[in-house]
Amino acid sequence: MANESTGFLHAIEMGLGTSAWGDRVIWQYGLSYSDADLGLAFQTALKEGIALIDTAEVYGSGLSERLIGKFARGSALPVLVATKYFPWPWRLTSGSVLSALRGSLARLGMESVALYQIHRPTPFHRPERMMEAMLACLEAGLVRALGVSNFTEVEMLRAYSTLARHNLSLASNQVHFSLLARRAEKNGLLARCRELGIRLIAYSPLEMGLLGGKYGPENPLPGSRGVRYAFLTNRIGPLLKLMTKMGQDHGGKSNAQVALNWVICKGALPIPGAKNAAQAQQNAGALGWRLTPEEIAALDEASDAIG
């Protein structure tokens, strides 16, 4: 059951991911892209009508939020920020959530955010306890809606029921979902989200760039991304080829656009990461058209064949 405060997410088809903004551990922030590139990615996304910007207090150790705040102050277009609370084991009191949110708002230079998410479940705190602590943020008027991330169906239902006891809705569950990561579709999480009006936000919808078509055995993903995807890079050739063919059939859509359109057709909200204007512009081209049910079935089959 989506209500007035959470329903806005259902009207959003795509967002912008910013985990690479300020990050040098996984991504090459400062080497292959600069703050100027990120500022242009931000402006391009907003101009294309993509207002939902996903971040987290831990991205770039706070730099992602700072950059978003700086870029948003320079823009007249509306911005909907979704950030996240990281449940570090030493954050023991319920006040930790409110104080972490205040830290995010200070870095963003904003008075409130659209969506506040628990970044991941933790063995240290029960979902019920974390959601009760998140409520204080809502009551303080600092967030419009509450969500979770990386929650299993059982954990999500516990978070959902906690809010339901207060006549509130859980807005979203942000999980890994792409043509190469279909667990949410296969284990029933996506269907349960749909049934309960919870928006499934799909992170890494381009599989950190692997589905974009630029990378492959001859040109592996750089840095730790290359290590993470070494086992897949040699096996996705047929899927990438099919995506390219389908893109051509739709008037020259790119592999990235096909990958994002597939996520949208499945009923999820993709938040592709972009580090420059060209990527943000191209990702916006995933909107305004749809793969056919036959094409989706063929993509599913090619994805299944990868194993």
Ligand X SMILES: NC(=O)c1ccc[n+]([C@@H]2O[C@H](COP(=O)([O-])OP(=O)(O)OC[C@H]3O[C@@H](n4cnc5c(N)ncnc54)[C@H](OP(=O)(O)O)[C@@H]3O)[C@@H](O)[C@H]2O)c1
Q: At what angle do helices 237-249 and 255-265 cross, to 10 degrees?
A: 90
Q: Does 66 bind ligand X (CB under 6 A)?
A: no
283 touching ligand X, by CB under 6 A: yes
Site for ligand X in 67-86 (CB under 6 A): none
Distance in Å, CB of 52 to ligand X, minimum? 10
Q: Are 15 and 52 in contact (CB under 8 A)?
A: yes
| Count of residues touching ligand X (by CB under 6 A) | 28
Which of 65-73, 127-135, 155-163, 267-275 is the region at the interface with ligand X (rule: CB under 6 A)? 267-275
Distance in Å, CB of 4 to ligand X, minimum: 25
Give yes or no for a contact between 148 and 172, defined as CB atoms under 8 angstroms apart.
yes
Closest distance of CB 206 from ligand X, Å: 3
The binder of ligand X chosen from 14, 205, 242, 253 (CB under 6 A): 205
Q: Rounded to whole angstroms, how far apart are CA atoms 98 and 96?
A: 6
Residue closer to ligand X (CB basis): 6 or 19: 19
Touching ligand X, residues 38-57 (CB under 6 A): 54
Write out the binding residues for ligand X, residues 136-195 only, by CB under 6 A: 149-150, 174
What is the DSSP-derived secondary structure letter of residue 216? B
CB 178 within 8 A of CB 210: no
Longest CA span, the chain: 55
Compute the least distance from the CB of residue 225 to ligand X, in Å.
7
Rounded CA separation 76/89 (Å): 39
The yes or no reply on residue 87 touching ligand X (CB under 6 A) is no
For residues 272 and 172, give the distance between their C-alpha atoms in angstroms, rounded to a whole number: 17
CB nearer ligand X, residue 89 or residue 293: 89
Known catalytic residues are 59
Nearer CB in complex with ligand X: 107/119: 119
- 93-98 CB contacts, 8 Å cutoff, 24+ apart: 94/129, 94/132, 94/133, 94/136, 95/133, 95/136, 96/133, 97/130, 97/133, 97/134, 97/136, 97/137, 98/133, 98/136, 98/137, 98/140, 98/142
| Footprint of ligand X (CB under 6 A) | 17-20, 54, 119, 149-150, 174, 203-209, 212, 214, 254, 256, 271-275, 279, 282-283
